[in-house]
Chain A
Amino acid sequence: MDASTKLELQKTACRIRMGVIEGTFHAKSGHPGGSLSIADDLAYLYWKEMRVDPANPAWPDRDRFVLSKGHCVPALYAALALKGYFPWDEIKSLRHTGALLQGHPDMKHIPGIDMSTGSLGQGISAACGMALAGKLDQKDYRVYSILGDGEIEEGQVWEAAMFAAHYKLDNLCVIVDNNGLQIDGPVADVMSPYPIGDKFAAFGWHVITVDGHDFDQLEAAFHEAKTIQGKPVVLVQKSVKGKGVSFMENQVSWHGSAPNAEQYEIAMAELKAALAQLDAQ
């Protein structure tokens, strides 16, 4: 990846992170930790990878994105707002009564949301259905879905994993965001999902391991994914929960709590400084 493209993606990811802090602060609730860990994925997917048209969110030939770990939607809302699906200011009323942006993705009302999710383990099944529809209609759109590493403790994920491999859904690309933490603690302690890659491989998937914050690796992984035929692809990505905000990084307590005014100022100052540094490059 050339330096200028990478720089732009880094800036975009930084803006997505600012949206996460903005949204959860104004909501006084939400899930900043896991939202921050997928900001780089969303920057890459929406700015480099996916065929989408913000002016035509229901375009039948678009690539689909299903946020199976739906609680991390603050990051997705920020990405969609930056893409122009809806005004950035909507983020400031995230989770407010009567507002557009619901606490979890709502495909009925929010432009750019391809599937309503939030109950863990369900998004991947819907993604399978979309991928199957693409095969049936002989369309070339692809379906992307991000799952949490805690989420894959849900049995339905493995029903879906079996299904995707059985029907050879090579137009499906799943990312498992292995930030290592879930609400009750480290995933290894709560209910170990490890080894993640070996499990998917045993279910018949093509497995790619990747650093979820390295755009060169993400680019190589998504390119490789498109070359795989006859199998669904999973990117098992090592990531940092709370990435980009110093006091949130690798802290399980930031799974599901919002920053207060003081924390908001510190977090935004850090992200603004990071963005200024990128702008100066």
Chain B
Amino acid sequence: MSELKKIATRESYGNALAELAPKYPDLVVLDADLAAATKTGIFKKSCPERFFDCGIAEANMMGVAAGLAAAGKTVFASSFAMFAAGRAFEVVRNSIGYPHLNVKIGATHAGISVGEDGATHQCCEDFALMQAIPGMVVISPADDVEARAAVEAAINYKGPVYLRFGRLAVPVFNDPKTYHFEMGKGVTLRNGSDLTIIATGLMVWEAVLAAEELAKEGISARVINIHTIKPLDRELVVKAAKETGKILTVEEHNVIGGLGSAVCSVVAEEAPCKVRKLGIQDVFGMSGPAAELLDKFGLTAKNIVVQAKELLG
């Protein structure tokens, strides 16, 4: 498995925008002085006439995106997750969400894997903020193939979408030849009967690796990739709860208001079972290399194995 190619999903995002530009003439991309980091710079290079830098002014950028969308454009507005979902939250809520405008928020550098920049830039609250906006779709792709497909799916969906991308290069495990992205549908990557590991974003591959380890010890773990946090694939979650009886959620997000919370609310209503939430335990991040931070905060295949065993008791 170690030979898998690694690509950061922000890179996938920028590449997808550039590749899709000719196919979608109404596509317009905005950034807030982070084009080199969010990778919308790739689009800017190939399609400068449809790229607009808004400067370091995220609130205005979201409003401009709303106005462009109101005039018929399909708009991607990009910044780091902290500023796109955090700083500009109320503009996203009132100028984009309330009128249900066709704006896609391409948020990169999500989670603690931002690394050295530290807590001020490590947004672990974006799922919570964006999920709470009525009508907002929230997508968190797991690898390059999924991220690219998600970008095109977002373009073809008329309405606001929040897309979360990462800074860290992550293994490309999906096969572009066979992969099909369906908004709102979870993907069962591995069948299992003892418990289900439900993961999103860069934790999906860690969950797959953990399931392989668990299998060596005779534990059969189902692995579900939830790339669409909202609308959540309730059916798949309920089925997992009923069939495996125990669920471990894994996300690079605060355990409050993220994937784990969403899964809990579904199973509590439809198929009560024990759920353990692995994620950022309601604390701020810190500076450090991404891999070290992921290890420190327990977001590794190794810790998923530990948590799974504890959950099984």
Contact = CB atoms under 8 A, between A and B. Distances in A.
A130 B71 contact: yes
5 contacts: A108-B99, A116-B98, A122-B94, A156-B91, A159-B57
Which label, helix, strand, loop or mixed, suits the secondary structure of the B interface?
helix
Nearest to B98: A116
Contact of B67 (A119, A133, A155, A156): A133
A246 B277 CA distance: 63
Interface string B3-39: 0000000000000000000000000100000000000
Interface of A: 60, 64, 66, 106-108, 114-119, 121-134, 136-137, 155-156, 159-160, 162-163, 166-167
Interface in B102-120: none
Contacts of B72: 60, 133, 137
B54 A163 contact: yes
B70 A126 contact: yes
B62 to A, nearest CB: 7
Contacts of A117: 95
Contact of A129 (B49, B57, B64): B64
B52 A132 contact: yes
B169 interface: no
The 7 closest A-B pairs by CB, nearest first: A129-B67, A125-B63, A133-B71, A159-B60, A159-B57, A126-B67, A129-B64
Which of B57, B59, B63, B90 gathers most chain A CB within 10 Å? B63
Interface string B288-307: 00000000000000000000
Given A122-B91, A136-B73, A129 B63 contact: yes
A166 B49 CA distance: 15
A136 B28 contact: yes
B94 A129 contact: no
Interface in B201-256: none
Contacts of B66: 115, 125-126, 129
A119 B90 contact: yes
Given A119-B90, A125-B59, A114 B70 contact: yes
B55 A133 contact: no
Interface residues of B, number: 30
B64 to A, nearest CB: 4
Which label, helix, strand, loop or mixed, suits the secondary structure of the A interface?
helix
Contacts of A155: 59
A115 B99 contact: yes
B129 interface: no
A159 B70 contact: no
Nearest to A143: B67
Contact of A126 (B49, B52, B63, B73): B63
B275 interface: no
A126 B95 contact: yes
Contacts of A163: 54-55, 57, 60, 64
B276 interface: no
Which of A108, A128, A156 gathers most chain B CB within 10 Å? A156
B145 interface: no
A160 B94 contact: no
Contacts of A60: 71-72
Contacts of A106: 98-99
A99 to B, nearest CB: 17
B99 A125 contact: no
A159 B59 contact: yes
Given A122-B63, A125-B95, A156-B59, 14 more contacts: A66-B67, A107-B70, A114-B70, A125-B60, A128-B67, A132-B52, A133-B71, A133-B72, A134-B71, A156-B60, A159-B54, A159-B55, A160-B63, A163-B57
B69 interface: yes
Contacts of A66: 67
Contacts of B164: none
B100 interface: yes
Contacts of B70: 64, 107, 114-115, 126, 129-130
Nearest to A109: B99
B266 interface: no
A281 to B, nearest CB: 40
Contacts of B98: 106, 108, 116
A227 to B, nearest CB: 24
Which of A108, A126, A160 gathers most chain B CB within 10 Å? A126
A122 B95 contact: yes
A125 B64 contact: yes
Interface in B77-133: 90-91, 94-95, 98-100
